[in-house]
Amino acid sequence: MDDGSMRYFQGFRCHYNDVLGPTKGGIRFHPQVTRAEIQALALWMTIKCAVLDLPFGGAKGGVVVQPKELSPMELERLSRAYMRSMADFIGPDSDIPAPDIYTNSMVMGWMVDEYEAIKRVRAPAVITGKPIALGGSRGREEATGRGAYLCIREVAARHNWQPDKIRVAIQGFGIAAYHVARLLQKDGYNIVAISDSKGGIYSDKGFNIDSLWEEKQNSKQVRAVYCEQSVCELVEHVEISNDELLALDVDLLIPAAIEGVIGLHNCDSIRAKTIVEVANGPVRSEAEASLAERGLTIVPDVLVNAGGVTVSYFEWVQNRSGYPWSLGRVREELEARMTTAVHETFRIAESEQRTLRNAAYVLALRRIGQAVQAHGTKEYFQNGDAQNSA
């Protein structure tokens, strides 16, 4: 630590499944990180990569820490220390980390630098979500939000939504939440509520997202402001808690913070018709049946927030080929992949009478199953007709 003292932090990295390729998934720094949580998140990464048809398995990492209490130097030492512990457990062909909650491109930059120092090679493809100057991809930062926006656009087309009639509440105001909010607002959606871990704001008239974001960068708070150039003034609003935000009478609810926020304790209070999961695992499985019974549509995390890992895949491809893509190409290929995955998920849901989450899992598990089979299963060899089956 900066004062010369020594502190130990507990950290994890889980490789859940690598049937489809090297494992992939972010590293979060959060005080509530547990081993079970990281394992669940690594399972979700496995499904997510398969839904998007990426040649990756699933992994996740985390450190039990409140990063807001660390100085920038302490954060750098912690990031490098994590990499020193994990350097033999990751690699461009085995396991590729990326940012997650409270980690960002700066943290990824320190980690890749540490990895390269340990291995004495240049290995940009070992981590994605890096600063562009160190081999990061254009469009990676906005990718999770843009992917979610593309998903919502498809849902909107199916429901014949008129954007200016759609009231949106967003729980969380991290990078993913900001970009999805910004893109929705550009299309005319009315963002009436937004929050961070400390609480939220509500206004019937809706907020200007870029103003809120600029203020959040400066003051680290969600404040109801409207800014012209750098002059910001307060606008009419009501302060609300995160629980109140989730219970608002809106058309579209976007949990974009952390897992488990909608459960048996509050599912009866949810009034939105559609939930789009930008966070990983915001709806607890116990609550899902009663929400579905009430006719709510839940667009699942493993599809909605997969834009992030998809552009991570593009970053890995760019690093390995040594040829950076233009922002236009990244956006185009993201759009193609996301819309294909959304269409495939809807097709399974409609033709097999499944919820969207169930359909996304079916899509993923069929792909993983095909790879298991292609690798050769016990049954396959025991049948003795391996050569004849073609």
Residue 274 or 305 having the CB closest to ligand GLU:
305
Looking at 312, 318, 319, 345, which residue binds ligand GLU (CB under 6 A)? 312
User: Residue 60 catalytic?
Assistant: yes
Residue 67 or 166 having the CB closest to ligand GLU:
67
Residue 75 or 279 having the CB closest to ligand GLU:
279
The reply on whether position 305 binds ligand GLU by CB under 6 A is yes
Q: Which window, 4-12, 24-32, 244-252, 316-324, contacts ligand GLU (CB under 6 A)?
A: 24-32
Q: Which two tokens stand for residue 188?
A: 């005319």
The reply on whether position 26 binds ligand GLU by CB under 6 A is yes
Q: Which two tokens stand for residue 371?
A: 């790879």
Mind giving me the DSSP string for 240-287? Answer: E-HHHHHT---SEEEE-S-TT-BSTTTGGG---SEEE--SSS-B-HHH
The reply on whether position 308 binds ligand GLU by CB under 6 A is yes
Contact 205, 236 (CB under 8 A): yes
The reply on whether position 25 binds ligand GLU by CB under 6 A is yes
Q: In whole angstroms, how close is the CB of 246 to ligand GLU at the nearest point?
A: 21
Burial code (b: 16+ CB inside 10 Å, e: under 16) for 53-75 equals bbebbbbbbbbbbebeebeeebb
Q: Which two tokens stand for residue 229?
A: 């150039």
Task: Report helix, strand or coil for 305.
Answer: coil
Element (H, E) at 118: helix 105-119
The letter for the amino acid at 54 is L
**Do you know the residue count of the chain?**
390
- Which x/- pattern over 111-130 shows residues binding ligand GLU (rule: CB under 6 A)? -----------------xx-
60, 130, 198, 220: the catalytic one is 60
The reply on whether position 303 binds ligand GLU by CB under 6 A is no
Q: Which window, 21-29, 62-70, 236-244, 249-257, contacts ligand GLU (CB under 6 A)?
A: 21-29
Residue 193 or 306 having the CB closest to ligand GLU:
306
Contact 103, 112 (CB under 8 A): no
The reply on whether position 138 binds ligand GLU by CB under 6 A is no
Q: Which window, 104-112, 226-234, 308-316, 381-389, contacts ligand GLU (CB under 6 A)?
A: 308-316
Residue 129 or 200 having the CB closest to ligand GLU:
129
The reply on whether position 24 binds ligand GLU by CB under 6 A is yes
- d(C-alpha 205, C-alpha 210), whole Å: 15
Residue 201 or 275 having the CB closest to ligand GLU:
275
Looking at 17, 185, 274, 280, which residue binds ligand GLU (CB under 6 A)? 280
Instruction: For the chain, list the strands marked E by DSSP.
Output: 11-17, 23-30, 57-64, 95-99, 167-171, 190-196, 199-202, 225-228, 231-234, 238-240, 252-255, 274-276, 297-299
- d(C-alpha 52, C-alpha 35), whole Å: 26
Q: Quick one: 309 exposed, middle or buried, by C-beta within 10 A (0-12, 13-18, 19+)?
A: buried
Task: Report helix, strand or coil for 25.
Answer: strand
The reply on whether position 344 binds ligand GLU by CB under 6 A is no
Residue with the closest Cβ to ligand GLU? Answer: 26
Q: Which residues are catalytic?
A: 60
Residues that bind ligand GLU (CB under 6 A): 24-26, 98, 100, 128-129, 280, 305, 308-309, 312
